[in-house]
Amino acid sequence: MVTVTAGGVSAAVHSVLETALGELTVVREGDSLTGLYFRQHWPRPERTAFGTLSDEGFDEVARQLGEFLAGYRRRFELPLKVTGGEFDRRVWELVARVRYGETTTYGKLARSLGTGIDPRDVGAAVGRNPLCIIVPCHRVVGATGKLTGYAGGLYRKRALLEIEQAGAARAGCAREARLW
């Protein structure tokens, strides 16, 4: 379960991990993971927000990411500190509830937040997610089920959904409908 909280600023450190989907910059403050970004991630915070480079303290996130990308892990068990505006945090909390191997749409998320919420505003909040993969924004698709923007590129979004679809099938949880 992901707990999204508002928080203050503290000293960050980061590491760059090689994964099956390419390099990921992982940022933490203390024991809590605060950021996970692809190399050409958009939008990407200023490098100064990543703090100093350190390879220490990232073994567990590297292990869990490796297991997830290999299709053997369905959920992450990492301490997280997710900062952002109130609306963004509400969206990320909803995204974090989308089950492994399933998808939702920007419109459904908007309706969950209440009347008058524009799906494009939800899309913008999803795009500002600082913890890609862990807060599974790749599980949010367009109204027709079409893959739409992803901070790490659509090919990575497709790959993540395929990993989850295969993992769900292995676990006997396959869905009849296509993910996209």
H helix runs in 11-96, sequence order: 59-69, 86-96
Q: Active site residue: 91, 137, 151, 163, which one?
A: 137
Rounded CA gap, 134 and 110, in Å? 21
Question: Which residue is it, tokens 């749409």?
Answer: 105
User: Cα separation of 92 and 88, whole Å?
Assistant: 6
Place of tokens 């739409």: 148
The Cβ of residue 21 has, within 10 Å, a number of other Cβ atoms equal to: 19
Single out the residue of 1, 14, 137, 19 nearest to residue 75, CA to CA: 1
Q: Describe the strand order of the beta sheet including 32-38 as a list of residue ranges.
A: 32-38, 22-29, 12-19, 52-53
Whether 137 is catalytic is: yes
Catalytic residue set? 137
